[in-house]
């Protein structure tokens, strides 16, 4: 993950490469961008561990193991179906976990932009970053995930494409919320 965009009562996807995000709670594009304190505390506590470079590489390698993938799938489906809905983020959420979600976003950015975002995130934590190695790590993970027979690392036919290559975090969030507002209004769910 390169970064997590948070808003009240939910979180929206990251811009670190292709992923699908599911929206099942109403929000408006005029919503404030301040997440609730409990969400921020949770993100702050888990962020370093979950967003470490090693975690991303490990997750991608473990995801090709069928029984592991199936256990994760069952957990994610159960989480997605909780009362009030959920917002999920991952490379196979819109294709494998929640193919019938209200709104799907396929968020992408080119590898160089993702590498730069990730490098800045790691450097902000005081870590030394080899940009060349990081770029190749991103490329290798994408290739491995696309070849995973247990995954769904492709854009669902009903997913809305959001390319964040040239967007900052605020612009990406606003663009995602605008898509969500439009889709939910069309469905009469706003």
Q: How far apart are CA 116 and CA 102, in angstroms?
A: 32
Global pTM reads 0.67
Q: pLDDT value at position 42?
A: 46
- Among 57-66, 142-151, 153-162, the range with the most confident prediction by mean pLDDT is 153-162
Residue ranges of domains in the chain, CATH in brackets: 5-186 (3.40.50.300)
Distance of CA 188 to the CA centre of its chain: 25
Quickly tell me which residue has 């975690």 as its tokens. Answer: 55
* pLDDT tens digits, one per residue of 161-181: 999 999 998 899 999 999 999
């Amino acid at each position: 993950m390169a970064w997590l965009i948070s808003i009240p009562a939910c979180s929206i996807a990251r811009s670190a490469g292709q992923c699908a995000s599911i929206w099942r709670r109403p929000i408006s594009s005029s919503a404030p961008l301040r997440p609730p304190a409990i969400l921020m505390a949770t993100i702050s506590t888990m962020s370093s561990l979950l967003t470490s470079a090693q975690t991303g590489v490990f997750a991608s390698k473990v995801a090709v193991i069928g029984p592991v993938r199936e256990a994760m799938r069952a957990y994610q489906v159960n989480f997605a179906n909780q009362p009030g809905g959920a917002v999920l983020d991952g490379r196979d959420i819109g294709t494998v976990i929640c193919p019938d979600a209200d709104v799907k976003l396929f968020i992408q950015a080119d590898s160089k932009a993702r590498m730069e975002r990730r490098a800045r995130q790691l450097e902000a934590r005081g870590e030394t970053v080899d940009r060349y190695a990081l770029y190749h790590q991103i490329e290798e993970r994408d290739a491995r995930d696309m070849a995973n027979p247990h995954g769904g690392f492709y854009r669902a036919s009903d997913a809305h494409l959001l390319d964040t290559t040239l967007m900052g975090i605020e612009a990406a969030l606003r663009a995602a919320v605008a898509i969500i507002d439009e889709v939910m209004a069309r469905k009469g769910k706003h």
